[in-house]
Amino acid sequence: MAKKNKKIVEFSIFILGLPGNSLPMLELEVNVININEGRNRDIVSRCRKLAEYSALIACIRNYVKELGDLEGAVREAVKYCERHGILSGFLEIHGSEVLNMILTEWNTEDAIAFAREEGRTEGHEQGRSEEKLEIARNLKAAGVSADIIHQATGLNIV
């Protein structure tokens, strides 16, 4: 699948716990721009740090092809970039953080999948809580004692 040069991501897909069909009070759209080597050259060429970051990522990809190992590739790419003045200073200070960030590869699709799964989990938990409350109300209306309701639902009934 060909990679896109630009993608708009709506922030609301990351917001969890919106009840029913509620809309967020604020919608933020983020324009994600592909700055991989050969993409969006007009933007990359206007910012030296973006161009250098793009070069770092391209270097990592080349080393992955050569070495077949992502961690080794990142280490070699960082060394290469330090020797050639690419992201100089930054990599000297933050080289290990760059390694961790790249090895923990987190992308938009992963974030969306995580948010959805977390939302489902929260929804199930909320549903179970609401069900217990409904059962407790029904038992109380039927004249069942608070102790029995507590044993059945785990809820403290006053």
> pTM score > 0.75 for this model?
no
For 31, the token pair is 């324009």
pLDDT band, residue 10 (cuts 50/70/90) = low
Provide the pLDDT confidence category of residue 109 given band limits of 50, 70 and 90. Answer: low
Task: Tell me the average pLDDT of the chain.
Answer: 79
What's the CA gap between 62 and 77, in Å, rounded?
A: 9
- For the beta carbon of residue 74, count every other beta carbon within 10 angstroms: 22
DSSP 105-122: ---HHHHHHHHHHHHHHH
Task: Please write the tens of the pLDDT for every residue from 55-93.
Answer: 998 999 999 999 988 888 988 998 899 899 998 888 888
Read off φ and ψ for residue 69, nearest 5 degrees: -140, 120
Supply the pLDDT for residue 1.
Answer: 43
Kindly state the average pLDDT of the residues 88-115: 74
The share of the chain scoring above pLDDT 90, in percent, equals 13
pLDDT at 128 over 60: yes
